Structure 1
Amino acid sequence: MKNNVTINIGAVARRTIAMEATAINDLQQFIDADFEKVVELIATCNGRLVVTGIGKSAIIAQKIVATLNSTGTPALFMHAADAIHGDLGMIRQNDIVMCISKSGTSAEVKVLVPLVKNFGNVLIAMVGNTSSFLAQEADYVLNTTVSQEACPNNLAPTTSTTAQLAMGDALAVCLIEWHGFTAADFAKFHPGGALGKKLYLKVADLSKLHQAPQVLTTSSLREVIVEISSKMLGVTAVLDENGQLQGIITDGDLRRMLEKSVSTASVTAKDIMSVNPKTIQQDELAINALEMMRRNDITQLLAMDGTRYTGIIHLHDLIREGII
């Protein structure tokens, strides 16, 4: 709908963000004994957390369920309207039910709440009106009261749904810390895409894709050039006769050597190599290799199994896998 009123778009956007930020900050006063008990109940529950709601609150409920499931707390979403038409069957004896509502007085909620209580399940209300039907009937209340919606008509759920989302995140993070949920645990539930790869892809998974370029400290300049060229990584490791890593030679090292006015006939790998090359253990996460490359402004690392050289991990490998 268009009108002839001219608005300051930037000012409206900043006002909206400021109002929602204030509402989130105000939630701190509502972290009370009920909140702590809810965290304990969910953390020790033998069933699942069933989260329900209607309208925009139902959308927030779905997001909270997604966050909980991905961080180790079994949860499922049940639409309040569908619940009273058959979906109540998804609730099991040991489940906890959390109903999200701003008003706590919607028709669907008033029908649903007595049914849940008849089942004997613990009922948590995440509600913006602590005097409402839902709040009064619930066993525990998570207070998400806001003073005003960001909507200029104080009607469209904006600030209130932001508060619900933040309260859900506070709940999820408390449960993460309660269970000691780690990045390794997170990776189990996120195997796909770039995020999953950052959490599970190891250096060895990438270094094994290439032949491991290597020469001896006594290798000639020609042998070094052939090895770097044939392996096509722009680098080779330099080993001693016992197979122990001594250094690294890159394309850049070769160019710098050739710029010098020296005879190349007797040059060996030991004369060209850089000592103390940057290495990484092959069982390290590939994302750690990227961080090391960035810190040292280099494009490759030597992969190691203890003290044994096993190959090269290159910046291009990380790009190809979508980690960057």
Structure 2
Amino acid sequence: MSKVFETVKQVLYKESKAIMDAFESIDKAAIEKLVEIISQCKGKILLSGCGTSGAAARKIAHTLSCVERPAFFLEPADALHGGLGAVDSDDVVVLLSKGGASLEINSLIKPLKTKKAFIIGVTENEESVLAKESDLFIKIKVKEEADHTGLLATSSIIGVIAVFDAVAIASAEITGFTREKFSVIHPGGAVGQILLKKNQIN
């Protein structure tokens, strides 16, 4: 077996383990509260993060929108330069930061509190400012990253995305999201064709 292929296999193995690590790290009461808040939100759900956490925030926002939980990505730098004007008191803001020490993210906390938005902090570090200052703290932690340095945000982001996939699906069940509703908002692509055929049969 070539070294390249061995590396690929090791990375995939570590990332597959990350989901179980995340599963073991989450708190039942906190996750149930998170699903409740997402399901009952009367305003917007805004997600923000820097770097790879920002990429995860964008993906999570899309998934939530796909189950009719209106969600958008809030770019941290833009938010600090006037973009916070989009935030209302009935909004939920999810802040993602692996270590909970991102200056841009933590700088959002005070103005978000002033605007009376509900803040959900997602980090592995329960001692961080983000964890302590959020209205709801969600701990998601994996044992190791997948790269040889142990620093590249790989496994940790897989864990975060997996948890929020589960949260989105749980919320969809609570709110009564159906294939019929999905067909209205997802007419494009292969998924849209499958839903269209299903509706024609029915």
TM-score of Structure 1 vs Structure 2, range by shorter chain: over 0.9
Partner of 2:164: 168
Q: How far did residue 202 of structure 1 move?
A: 6.3
> 2:161 and 2:188 mapped to 1: Cα distance?
25
Q: Does 1:48 align with 2:44?
A: yes
Say whether the 8 Å CA contact 2:22–2:160 is kept in structure 1.
no
Deviations 1:56-83 (A, max 9, x none): 1111100111111111111111011211
CA–CA distance in 2 between the matches of 1:74 and 1:161? 22
Cross-structure match for 2:93: 97
Query: Identity, % of aligned pairs?
Result: 34
Which residue does 1:233 correspond to in 2?
Answer: none
Task: Give the match's secondary structure for 1:108.
Answer: helix
Counterparts of 1:194 and 1:150 in 2: how far apart (Å)? Answer: 32
Secondary structure of residue in 2 paired with 1:51: strand
Q: In structure 2, how many angstroms separate the alpha carbons of the residues matched to 1:46 and 1:35? A: 19
Q: Is 2:11 the partner of 1:16? A: yes
Amino acid aligned to 2:20: N
Corresponding position of 1:109: 105
Alignment of 1:144 with 2:140, yes or no, is yes
TM-score by length of 2: 0.93
Q: 1:318 is matched with which residue?
A: none
Structure 1 partner of 2:75 = 79
In the alignment, which residue of structure 2 is the partner of 1:298? none
1:263-296 per-position Cα deviation (integer Å, ceiling 9, x unaligned): xxxxxxxxxxxxxxxxxxxx515xxxxxxxxxxx
Structure 1 counterpart SS, 2:201: coil
User: Can you give the 5+ residue segments of structure 2 that lack an aligned partner in the other structure?
Assistant: none
In the alignment, structure 1 residue 195 sits paired with structure 2 residue 191? yes
TM superposition shift of 1:19? 1.2
Q: How does 1:217-228 map to 2 (within 5 A)?
A: none
| Preserved CA contact (<8 Å) 1:184 1:200 | no
Distance in 2 (CA, whole Å) between partners of 1:14 and 1:114 is 44
Query: Is the CA contact 1:149–1:155 (under 8 Å) kept in the aligned structure 2?
Result: yes
Structure 2 vs 1, CA of residues 34 and 202 (structure 1 numbering), >3 Å: closer, same or farther?
closer
Aligned mates of 2:179, 2:82 — CA distance in 1: 38
Does structure 2 conserve the Cα–Cα contact (< 8 Å) formed by 1:16 and 1:150? yes
1:27 partner letter: A
Which consecutive residues of structure 1, in runs of 5 or more, have no partner in the other structure? 1-6, 204-282, 286-324
Q: Mark the structure with the bigger radius of gyration.
A: 1
Contact 1:35 1:141 in 2 (8 A): no
Higher relative contact order, structure no. (Cα contacts within 8 Å, ≥ 6 residues apart): 2
1:284 aligns to what? 201
Whichever structure has more strand as a proportion of its residues is: 1
